[in-house]
Amino acid sequence: MARSRFIYTLKEVASMIGENLELIEEVTANSDNIAEGELVYVRDGTEDGTKGLTQNGIDDLQSLLAVDGFSKARLNDDKRLVLVDGTKRRPLQAAECGGCVL
């Protein structure tokens, strides 16, 4: 497969796939959730820079978010992923999101 020549910032990815930016930031905080080389750090003049994804990285992210557990997961006030089931909220377990690293 040809290597992607474009990098999309996480903000752009959130807009493209209609997902919450904070959730994407949380998922990509651990690079084990995205294939090696598909999540990159970009210098943007700030101290920390920003993260970006290749098209393959976006595909990986969408696949991960499509797993049943993640489809019901959202960030709570402490910026931790929680499983939302009706009015009940509980921490999301790795097994519920296809073995992702939280």
Three-state SS sequence of 39-102: EEEECCCCCCCEEEECHHHHHHHHHHHHCHHHHCEEECCCCCEEEEECCEEEECCHHHHCCCCC
Q: Is 52 inside a domain boundary?
A: yes
pLDDT digit string (tens) for the chain, length 102 residues: 567 789 999 999 999 988 888 888 888 888 788 888 899 999 989 998 999 999 999 998 888 877 655 555 555 455 555 544 544 444 555 555 554 544
Q: Is 1 inside a domain boundary?
A: no
pLDDT for the residue 44: 87
Q: Is 39 inside a domain boundary?
A: yes
Q: What is the count of structural domains for the chain?
A: 1
Q: Is 37 inside a domain boundary?
A: yes
Q: Is 61 inside a domain boundary?
A: yes
Tell me which amino acid residue 88 is: K
Q: CA 86 to CA 76: how far, in whole Å?
A: 15
Q: Is 48 inside a domain boundary?
A: yes
What domain range is 66 assigned to?
8-97
Q: Is 75 inside a domain boundary?
A: yes
Q: Is 102 inside a domain boundary?
A: no
